[in-house]
Amino acid sequence: MPKYKSGALFAILWAGLFLLPLAAAMGQERSPLILLTSFPDAVYQPFKIAFEKKNPDIELFVLNKKTSAAISYIQDGQNHQVDLFWASAPDAFEVLKQSGDLAKLQNPALAATAQIGGYPLNDPDGYYLGFAISGYGIMWNTDYLQSRHLPEPQSWDDLRKGIYENHLGLSAPSRSGTTHLIVEIILQSKGWDEGWRTLLEIGGNLATITARSYGVRHGVEEGRFGAGLVIDFFGLMSRAQGHPVKFVYPEQTVMLPANIAMIKGAKNPEQAARFIRFVISDAGQRFLFQPAISRLPVNPDIYQYAPAGFPNPFKGASRRDSLLFDSSLSRRRYHLVNALFDQLVTYRLRELKEAWSLIHKAERKLAGEEQADMEIAISEARNLIFRIPVDDEMSRDSKINGLFSRHKPGFSVSAGQSELEAKWRADALARYSKAARIAENVLSRLEAAGKGPSLQ
């Protein structure tokens, strides 16, 4: 650091005090821009620095909230002002579009349409734009799996297997827009009934349900559990940072845009439009390749600058065209699906895991045995867990979906929602307990027949 004589230092300080108000008087004050995002600081901080460097007249303020909380924050409109919303889940933007909280983008160039796997990258009506492409799949810690002699999972169905008991991590869809999309992808790709069977078996193998989706990534990185259901950039980012992880896109998955939108009534629309232009510019798109960000650009031409081995959703094995995701359906039943998952899995995790653990033990002991009555009993136990209190038709019913909203501290949900959740909760507890008792009875009978201790 240079050394100054006291007189010179005084002159510098005096000049600074004089120039600051002068700069303000000459119109060089920085305009505020408020960005609400669900992305971690590792993603938004580099963009903030680069954008402010390119636009020294703007100061970007970032408000970080999980997607479901961000939706409520915008919709509540309680004397706060947000200019931009930036997140991964396209159905979240559909929710805000339908509630009238997004501003229609005026620049036709920004609203140009394109597709990925038959899905529009930008809102056809011009209310939000895709800035990156997101894939959804499975991330695992290679050291963790190898030390426990577990195979590397390649599909959602692999995660249903009893060998992964207590080795998986997931966030609740009510807490994470990313997880909500994963849940919807499974429900839409497999159908409502088989989708819930898949989710309930995966739920039985969970080591924990994390507070936010970042917790799944960190848990896998740190080896607190072996694998997790995540958005692709978590796996790509972790691998780029040297963690012993891998990521796979299951066959039954989709590529969807991560989006950005201007909030209706934004106080700083011109500055907001400049940020949107920045993130979809060539420079902003190339920025996505940074190891700490590791996101897939929406511009196909930018992949010529991609790091070696980086997935290209427009070409090769990374491309996904088989499943057309229905974001309108996801948006309509958004809160119902989240509430149902919480009552069947999140809040009943201990009972669900206990029932599956006993079923898996009984199935292992029954392997190779000719015990038809016991096999029927275990099948009954499975079917008890799989009995979903909402069918596909009900999940699409606008009247039923209209009863549901997000649980927010200090606010009550509708009487209809409370009544249904109470029924689901009691029903799930009764069914899981009965399934566990059936499996325990089978284990006891096997023990009595000399097939080994029942609860090992």
40-44, 52-56, 154-158: segment of lowest average pLDDT: 40-44
* Residue 193 to residue 188: CA distance in whole angstroms: 10
Q: Which two tokens mark 153?
A: 């999972």
| 50 token code pair | 């680069």
Q: Given the DSSP bridges, would you call strands 58-64 and 31-37 parallel, antiparallel or unpaired?
A: parallel
Q: Is the pLDDT assigned to residue 27 strictly greater than 80? A: no
pLDDT in tens, 198-223: 999 999 999 999 998 989 999 999 99
Structure tokens at 345: 């899995």
CB 454 within 8 A of CB 440: yes
Q: What is the distance between the alpha carbons of residues 222 and 451, in angstroms, rounded to a whole number? A: 38
**What is the three-class DSSP state of 351?**
helix
Both tokens of 43, joined, read: 């993603």
- Residue 320 CA to residue 65 CA, distance in Å, equals 29
Q: Which span out of 70-79, 324-333, 397-406 was modeled with the highest average pLDDT?
A: 397-406
For 14-28, 409-423, 433-447, which range has the lowest pLDDT when averaged over its residues? 14-28
Is the per-residue pLDDT at 9 higher than 80? no
On the 0-12 / 13-18 / 19+ scale of CB atoms within 10 A, 195 is buried
What does the pLDDT average to over 256-262?
A: 95
Task: Identify the weakest region by mean pLDDT among 30-39, 74-83, 282-291, 335-344.
Answer: 74-83
In the chain the domains, ranked by start, together with CATH numbers, are: 29-133+257-318 (3.40.190.10), 333-456 (no CATH)
Q: Which residues pair with 246 in a beta bridge?
A: 140
pLDDT of residue 295 exceeding 80, the answer is: yes
Query: In whole numbers, what is the pLDDT of the chain averaged over residues?
Result: 89
Indicate if the pLDDT at residue 10 is higher than 50.
Answer: no
Residue 79: pLDDT band (50, 70, 90) is low
In this structure, are residues 218 and 230 in contact, taking their beta carbons and an 8 Å threshold?
no
Question: What's residue 322's pLDDT?
Answer: 54
* Coil, helix or strand at residue 231: strand
Residue 63 one-letter amino acid: L
Lowest-pLDDT range of 72-86, 409-423, 437-451: 72-86
CA atoms of 384 and 430, how far apart (whole Å):
9
Reported as a single tens digit per residue, the pLDDT across 134-168 is 999 999 999 999 999 999 999 999 999 999 999 99
Task: Give the confidence band of 14 by pLDDT, cuts at 50, 70, 90.
Answer: very low
Q: What's the pLDDT score for residue 26?
A: 44
Q: How many CB atoms lie within 10 A of CB 400?
A: 17
Give the Cα separation of 45 and 418 in Å (integer): 40
* HSE of 132, CA atoms in CB hemisphere, 13 A: 25
Share of the chain above pLDDT 70, in %: 89
Range name among 158-167, 257-266, 419-428, 446-455 with the lowest pLDDT average: 446-455
pLDDT of residue 338: 97
pLDDT at residue number 266: 94
Give yes or no for a contact between 75 and 82, defined as CB atoms under 8 angstroms apart.
Answer: no
* Structure confidence at residue 8 (pLDDT): 41
Q: Which residues, at least 6 apart from 249, have a Cβ–Cβ distance to it below 8 Å? A: 135, 136, 137, 232, 311, 318, 320
d(CA 120, CA 255): 11
Residue carrying the six token digits 């070696």: 308
CA distances from 377 to 111, 382, 385, 435 (A): 57, 9, 13, 9
Among left, alpha and beta (phi > 0; psi -120 to 50; other), residue 215 is: alpha
User: In whole angstroms, what is the distance from residue 286 CA to residue 295 CA?
Assistant: 10
pLDDT of 107 reads 64
Looking at residue 219, its pLDDT comes to: 98
Question: For position 78, what pLDDT does the model report?
Answer: 66
In this structure, of 17-26, 45-54, 351-360, 399-408, the range with the lowest mean pLDDT score is 17-26
Q: Do residues 134 and 88 touch, judged by C-beta distance below 8 A?
A: yes
Lowest pLDDT segment from 104-113, 249-258, 320-329: 104-113
Q: What is the pLDDT of residues 355-403, one digit of tens each?
A: 999 999 999 999 988 889 999 999 999 999 999 999 999 999 999 999 9
Q: Is the pLDDT higher at 1 or at 119?
A: 119
Measure the CA–CA gap between 177 and 251, rounded to whole angstroms: 21
Its pTM stands at 0.85
Instruction: Out of 80-94, 363-377, 442-456, pick the least confident.
Output: 442-456
Q: Which DSSP string do the residues of 5-38 spell out, in sequence order?
A: -HHHHHHHHHHHHHHHHHHHHTT-PPEEEEEEE-
What is the pLDDT at residue 165? Answer: 98
Is it the case that residue 21 has pLDDT exceeding 50?
A: no
Chain centroid, CA 455 distance in Å? 36
Contact 105, 276 (CB under 8 A): yes
pLDDT digits (tens, 9 = 90+) for 104-115: 997 655 545 688
In this model, does residue 18 exceed pLDDT 50? no
Cα distance between residue 14 and residue 125, in whole Å: 54
Average pLDDT over residues 111-135: 85
Per-residue pLDDT at 112: 54
